[in-house]
Amino acid sequence: MPKECRRKSSKDFGFPGAVLSDGGRVERRAAGRSSQICAEVFQKAALVAAQPAAPALMHAPMVPQVTITPEGGGCSREIQQEDMDGNGDGILRRKLSNSSISSTGSSAVESEDDLLSDTESKSKGLVTLDHLVNTERKPWRKIKTYIRWPFNASQKKKLSWVQLAGHKGNFKAADEGTILKKLSENEMQCFEKLRDDALLPFVPGYHGVVENDGEAFLQMTDLLANFDQPNVMDCKMGVRTYLEEELVRARERPKPREDLYKKMVEVDNGGPTPEEHVQQGVTKPRYMQWRESMSSTNTLGFRIEGIKKYDGTCRTDFKKTRSKQDVIQVFKDFVEGDANIIKSYMLRLKEIRQALQTSEFFKQHEVIGSSLLFIHDHTGHAQIWIIDFGKTTALPDGQTLSHNVPWQEGNREDGYLWGLDNLILMLEAVCNEETTENSLTTDTHTASDL
Ligand code: I3P
């Protein structure tokens, strides 16, 4: 193993425990407060216990394509499922049935923000970020990850931030080496459970819940703190980016959103259906499914959300980055051809995969909308973290997911492992200049090969 790889272990980072260190403003909340939400989530669906299976081939579309058309006008909703074995001929169509999943109200989404427009969300008083710079020049609006951005040694005191994905206004500056993320009951529960899990070395250090300006936040380790002019990439994992219950909600109470319609049209005017063009709105799951099909989410089980380079340049224009070649090219650009960085990333991904296989948390949760955050700098330091658990939800007691079988509504599978295997194969392709698109599509790697 190259030295460069060996020294980039998770031990490079501290993982503080539960003790809070935020002076008088710190206040721990009783974990019991949030148990109600999960209890309700547990009741929502009859799950199909998935059988372990080898990951699908790279070229096999894994996720059923779900089309939800607006209510009214008698439009039907259909699932079109292509089978996993890559034949491409296993088209299955079935009507979504409300009986396949029950809707019991409260959810991991915690509010109806999933159905609200940006404006509506903002009106709910989301906090704004201290020290956020140049926000008006950022080309993106919805971002998921804020991270502190150390420009150079002499400017270490001066805070700046990177916003790569997620909800604007969800983060705040905090004590040295930490950041505050707006409290999500769901995410808090995940971090609490992760304290004793095999995934602990791969998730941001969690310092508990703090109150700031009357709002509750999760205090977490600043993942960029130990890097010098880092490069950062956010990859959203899984074949599905919305919760099953979001489908149910949209079906029962469709709420076409104009902001999502506009985002869709901006990328592809042909995206909306004629009906959606007329109403100038699309539902949230419809938008999410469209995003999944335009990007590599459906076909590879992950997608690139955003990249911030050491020189300050940002890219979030990956909505149509779908093919293997395109994804590989983005990775090549990201590491600027540095094979050692790629090797470090591959090693870390394999460590993550190993941990996922032994993780009780992973077995027992549907992991939706979580990302892998890639960070490296010019010193060769490279790390990957599992982040964003806002839509990661626990399964009912005794039920587990395999994370590498196709999703069908009701089984809650997320395709996380399948996507991770594809991601590892992509990085191997980047490492190996000789690897071609053709060899990737005929690759028959399985999890045990990795
Ligand atoms: C957003 C992205 C986010 C999602 C957000 C979408 O689309 O899919 O993951 O937030 O929904 O608008 P895009 O990447 O094209 O900007 P959640 O994951 O929290 O659902 P929102 O508009 O309801 O916040």
Going from N- to C-terminal start, the domains of the chain cover 244-296
Cα–Cα distances (Å) from 254 to 72, 130, 257, 330, in that order, read 10, 36, 9, 36
Residue 368 tokens, joined: 């939706």
What's the pLDDT score for residue 431? 87
The CB of 291 under 6 Å from ligand 1? The reply is yes
Residue type, 353: R
β 161-163/231-237 pair status: unpaired
What's the pLDDT score for residue 176? 83
Cβ atoms within 10 Å, residue 158: 12
The CB of 288 under 6 Å from ligand 1? The reply is yes
Atom 20 (ligand 1): residue with closest C-alpha? 114
> Helices 339-358 and 324-335 meet at what angle, rounded to 10?
120
Ligand 1 atom with the smallest distance to the CA of 121 is 24
Cα(24) to centroid of ligand 1, in Å?
35
The CB of 255 under 6 Å from ligand 1? The reply is no
What's the pLDDT score for residue 63? 42
From the list 438, 439, 422, the residue with the least C-alpha distance to 346 is: 422
Phi, psi of 180 (to 5 degrees): -110, 135
Entry pTM: 0.69
Ligand 1 atom with the smallest distance to the CA of 259 is 22
The CB of 108 under 6 Å from ligand 1? The reply is no
What lies within 8 Å, CB to CB, of 379 at 6+ separation is 228
* CB contact at 8 A, 76 and 442: no
The CB of 142 under 6 Å from ligand 1? The reply is yes
* CB contact at 8 A, 12 and 226: yes
Atom 8 (ligand 1): residue with closest C-alpha? 288
Cα(203) to centroid of ligand 1, in Å?
22
Outline where DSSP puts E strands in 196-301.
206-212, 215-221, 231-237
pLDDT in tens, the chain (450 residues): 333 333 333 322 222 222 222 333 333 333 333 333 222 222 222 222 222 333 343 444 444 433 333 333 322 222 222 333 333 332 222 222 222 212 222 233 333 333 223 323 322 222 222 333 333 333 333 334 444 444 444 444 334 455 566 676 788 888 889 999 999 999 999 999 999 999 999 999 999 999 999 999 999 999 999 999 999 999 999 999 999 999 999 999 999 999 999 999 999 999 999 999 999 999 999 999 999 999 999 999 999 999 999 998 999 999 999 999 999 999 999 999 899 999 999 999 999 999 999 999 999 999 999 999 999 999 999 999 999 999 999 999 999 999 999 999 999 999 999 999 999 999 999 988 644 443 443 333 333 333
Q: Which of 109, 142, 284 to mutate to test the pocket of ligand 1 (most atoms within 8 A of CB)?
A: 142
Ligand 1 atom with the smallest distance to the CA of 141 is 16
Atom 14 (ligand 1): residue with closest C-alpha? 142
Cα(315) to centroid of ligand 1, in Å?
17
* CB contact at 8 A, 64 and 408: yes
From the list 47, 42, 48, the residue with the least C-alpha distance to 104 is: 42
Cα(166) to centroid of ligand 1, in Å?
7
Cα(142) to centroid of ligand 1, in Å?
7
Ligand 1 atom with the smallest distance to the CA of 236 is 9
Atom 4 (ligand 1): residue with closest C-alpha? 166
Ligand 1 atom with the smallest distance to the CA of 140 is 16
The CB of 284 under 6 Å from ligand 1? The reply is yes
Distance CA 182, CA 173 (A): 11
Distance CA 448, CA 344 (A): 20
